[in-house]
Structure 1
C-alpha cells in the first residue's frame, strides 16, 4: 500500500485508485496530481478495504481484472459496507459479465474503458464528485428539515397549552412549513436542473439547450394543468435528456445531427440509451428515464432506439421530442442552417405525421406562442405590486418565491384578504420585499390596497 498523494491540505475529496499494476497506478497518480483531490493508492482489493476502514473516502476507482478479488467483487463490498462511497470500474476488457456484476452488485456510478481518454476520465471524476456533493447536501437539508419539523411540532404541542393570543402566530408558522414541505418534494427536480447546468459547461452558450427545453415543458404543464407528478417527470426528462452526450468530443457535441460523420452515427443514435442508463438507477427518475429513452422515436417508426411507432411512443416522449427539436433547430444542432423560431415551427408542422404526432402539433405551436410571449409586456392586466398594494380577488400571474428561493404561492392562485395579510406578515418576518406579479380583474381594478397585518 502506497502513501497518499497530498499537499497537506484538508477538506479535499478523497479518491482511492485500485489496480494490481503499479504502472497503471503511477499513470493515474500523475494524471490526478494537478487536480484538487487527495489521492490514495492500493494494489489489491484487500488493501483498498483496509484503507476504507481507516478513513472516509469519497470515490473508489478500481481495475476490473485483479487477482484474488476482482474489481466487481471489491465494488460490491464497498457498496455493502460503505454505501456513500462512489464506485467506478476501470476495465480494459470487453467483459460484459464483469460489467453487469459491477452494475448489479456494486451499483457503480460508471465504468471507463482502458486505454482511457485523460480529459474524459477527469470529467467523469468531476461529475461523480459533484453528484456526490449535491446528494450529500440534499440529504443534509432533508434531515435538517425533519429535525426542524419535529422541533416545531413539539413547540406547537407546548404552545397550545399556553396563551391563546399566540394561536395566530403558530398557524402562520405551520402554513409556511407546509409550503416548505411542498418545496422539498421538488428537490429532485432542482437536482436534475443542477446537473443539466453542469453538462452545459461543456457547450458554448449559443449551443446550450436544456434551460430553454425545461422552460418550454413547464409552460406546457401549466397551460394543460397537468398533475404534479407528470410535471416533475417531464421537467426532469427535459433537464437530463442529453446527459448521455457528455462523453462525446467537443466537435461532435456542437455538430448538427444532419452532418454527423457516418462513423459517428451509431454513437449519436445511442445517446438516449446512455442518458436513460445514467438516471434510471434513481427511483424518483424511473418514469423520467423512459421519456428520455424514447424522445428520439418518430411517429412513422423511423426513430431510435426502439423504432416505436405512433401511439406506442409514450405521450410525454412525443411532447419532449417536439420541445427538444424546436430548441435545437434554433441552436443549429439539427440542420446545418440555424433556424429562427417561426422557421422551427414550420419545420415541425411540415413533418407532422412523419416525425411528430399530427394530433399534437397545433397544440404545441400554441404552447410555443405562449412560451415566447412575456406576459408583463403584452398583457395590460398584469401589474407588479408590493404586498401592501395587493387586494382581494387579484390573481397571481407568476409563482411567488421567498428571498431564499422557497415557493410561497403558485401562479393562478386567487388572493383572499387573509392570504394577503399572511404574505405581509411573512414578508416582515423575513425582512424582505416581494415583487408580486398579479392579474387584476375588472371588478377589483379600483379596489383599495389591503391593509397591513396588525402587530
Structure 2
C-alpha cells in the first residue's frame, strides 16, 4: 500500500487531485503507475481493504479524486469495494476495470450509481488517459463550484447580516430624526407663540400711550387676518401681515405725547411731516429682528396712497405691496370705528369715499365682509346664556369674555368677545399672581 505521504511534495502537487489504483496483481498496478505518474499523483492498493484504509486517511482532505478498481479481487470484489468507497469518498469518481466475463456485474454497478465509468481489460492507454483527465477535471469543477457556492452563501449571509444591521440602524436613525423633528416642531411652536405673545403685549403697551385707540392694533390684526384668509394667502404671508398689524404703531414711540394726542386734521405742517415718519421708524425698529423684517417692510408702506401721492416712496397701485394695501384699509377703518366711535356703516362709508385715491378699491369688499364678521362677534349684550363674575380658578374653556380685562397696571389682557381657552385661563392665573386685575372676570356661560 502506498500512502499519500509517499508521494513527492511540491507546491503544485499539494493542489493536484490524486488517482487511487486498486488491483491484486502487482503488474497491473505498476503499469497503471507508469502510465499516470507523469501527470497525476498516484496511490496504489493491492486489495479492497488497503484501499479503504487509504480512503480513511484521505477523509477530510479529499485529495483522491478518482478511483480505478479491478472487479475480480480476493476477499472483496470491486463492486463491494466501490460500494464502501462511495460512502467514504463520495466526491471521488469510481471507474471499474473489468474483463469480458464480469461485464454483467459491472453494468449493474453502473446502473446502481456505484460506478461512473468502466474499462475492459486490456485497456487502451489513450482511452484510459482521456477518461482520467475528464474525470479529474469534472471533480475539480465540482469542487470549484462547491467552493464558490459556499463563498456565495457566506457572502449572502454576511450581506444579510449587514442589511439587517443597516435596517436597524436606519430605523434607529429614523426614530431619532422623528424625535428631533417633534422636539424641533415643539420648539418652533413655542418660539412662534412666544413671539406672538410678545407682539400682543407690545401692542397693548403702545396703546397705553393713546387712550383714544384702545384695542386698535388687536382689532386691525383681526381684520387683516380675515382678509388674508379670504384672499387665500399663504400661511407665512398671513402671519407676516398680522405681525405688521400688531406692530404698525411701533414707530410712534418717537412721537411726543402732545403730538400723538392731536387729531391728524389739527397738525400743522411741521408736525405733519414728523407724524408721517412713524412707518419708516417702525421699519427701522423691526429691521434687526429677522422674523419681523418682512412685517417691517409692510409697515414702511402703510401711508402710501393708491394714486401715488403717499409717502415715503410715492408708490402707486399694485406697486404698493399687497400686505400694505390690506393693512392701510383695516387700520384706517378701525381708527374711525373704534377710535372715533363711528357706527360700522359710517366708518365703511368713509373708507369707500377714499377708494381709488387712498385705498385699493378691489380690496374694499373684503374689508366690508371682515368688518361685519368681526364686529358682529363683539355684540354680546343680547347673547343667550348666564352672565357671571368669576376668578381664574372658576373659569372654563368656551366661556366668552363680556368686558375687557386689564392688569393692575393697565395692560390689556383679554378683550371683550374673547372665547376662553385652557392657555388663556392659565395666562390669566399668572397675571392674577403677578399684576392682578381689579375684581373678577365678567363672562358669558352657555350652560
State TM-score, norm by structure 1.
Answer: 0.43
Structure having the larger proportion of residues in helix: 2
State TM-score, norm by structure 2.
Answer: 0.44
